[in-house]
Structure formats: structure tokens, C-alpha cells
């Protein structure tokens, strides 16, 4: 599979994200900081960080960027 493909990767299990986790990850994909996302969603930056930490754990990745890439590959978010 091409590295830039947005087709789901059948070798990796699907991850289920809550609506709030999806929102936080979507805004992250658009380059927003935790403070920015908190303002947009009326959450504290620490709450945003908590959601994104859970997302990283679900995808078994270390960074937000890796989580965004995994979510795009699985069709969970569309940063476009």
C-alpha cells in the first residue's frame, strides 16, 4: 500500500474513537494547539490533552502526528 493512501489498512485493527476524541484529533490534524482546541470546543487545554493521550493509546502510537496519520489511514478523520 502506498504511504499516502487513505484506504484502510486491513492489517491493522480498526480503532473506535469517541466523538470528542474525533473532534480533538480533527482539530489537531488542522494544526491547532491544545489551547486552540480547548477554546473551539469549550474545554480546558488539559482536557484536550487527556483526550489526545487516550487517542494515542488506542492507536498505540507516541505522538499526535502519528495518531492523525493512523486515523486518516483508517478513514476516521479527513483533514482535507
Q: Is residue 9 part of a domain?
A: no
Q: Is residue 65 part of a domain?
A: yes
Q: Is residue 23 part of a domain?
A: yes
Q: Is residue 4 part of a domain?
A: no
How many domains would you assign to the chain? Answer: 1
The pLDDT mean for the chain works out to: 88
| CATH number of the domain enclosing 31 | 1.10.10.10
pLDDT reported for residue 12:
57
Pull the grid cell for residue 63.
505522538
pLDDT reported for residue 80:
75
**2 band by pLDDT with thresholds 50, 70 and 90:** very low
Q: Is residue 8 part of a domain?
A: no
Pull the grid cell for residue 37.
482546541
Mean pLDDT score, 38-45: 98
Tell me how far apart the alpha carbons of residues 76 and 14 are, in angstroms, rounded to a whole number. 9
Domain range for 26 is 19-73
User: Largest alpha-carbon pair distance within the chain?
Assistant: 39
Cβ count near 39 (within 10 Å): 13
Q: Is residue 36 part of a domain?
A: yes
Position with higher pLDDT, 78 vs 2:
78
Residue 8 has pLDDT above 90, yes or no: no
Tell me how far apart the alpha carbons of residues 19 and 39 are, in angstroms, rounded to a whole number. 17
Amino acid at each position: 500500500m502506498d504511504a499516502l493512501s487513505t484506504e484502510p489498512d486491513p492489517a491493522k485493527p480498526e480503532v473506535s474513537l469517541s466523538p470528542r476524541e474525533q473532534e480533538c484529533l480533527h482539530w489537531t490534524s488542522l494544526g491547532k494547539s491544545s489551547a486552540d482546541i480547548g477554546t473551539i470546543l469549550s474545554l480546558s487545554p488539559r482536557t484536550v490533552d487527556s483526550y489526545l493521550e487516550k487517542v494515542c493509546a488506542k492507536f498505540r502510537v507516541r505522538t499526535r502526528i502519528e495518531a492523525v496519520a493512523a486515523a486518516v489511514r483508517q478513514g476516521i478523520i479527513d483533514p482535507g
